[in-house]
Amino acid sequence: MKKIIYFYLRFCPYCRQADQYLEEVINENEELKELQIVRINEAKEAKIANSYDYYYVPCFWLDDVKVHEGAVTKEKVKEILFMALK
């Protein structure tokens, strides 16, 4: 199982949508409840955020590999979460 690192900003509308999709997909798929998701607010944890190579939030990493950056669909969130199970 891979660790999910999720960069976001509190007032970002795309991040709020991603949060909603994360909650929905996890609630719809029991096996995803065991996933470790590290949420990093890039405004509050700028030092950590600056150590990663990305421009847009929301941004998802699986371990050390960036898998998505920018506005996201529910289907993409589901794909990311299931990739983390492998």
Domains and CATH numbers, the chain: 4-85 (3.40.30.10)
Is it the case that residue 86 has pLDDT exceeding 90?
no
The structure tokens listed for 38 are 């590290």
Is it the case that residue 16 has pLDDT exceeding 90?
yes
pLDDT band at 5; cut points 50, 70, 90:
very high
Distances (CA, A) of 64 to 24, 30, 53, 74: 25, 25, 10, 22
Q: Let me know: does 46 contact 79? Beta carbons within 8 Å.
A: no
Q: Cα 81 vs. chain centroid, distance in angstroms? A: 9
Helix, strand, coil distribution of the chain in percent, nearest 5: 45, 20, 35
In terms of pTM, does the model score above 0.85? yes
Which of helix, strand or coil describes residue 46? Answer: helix
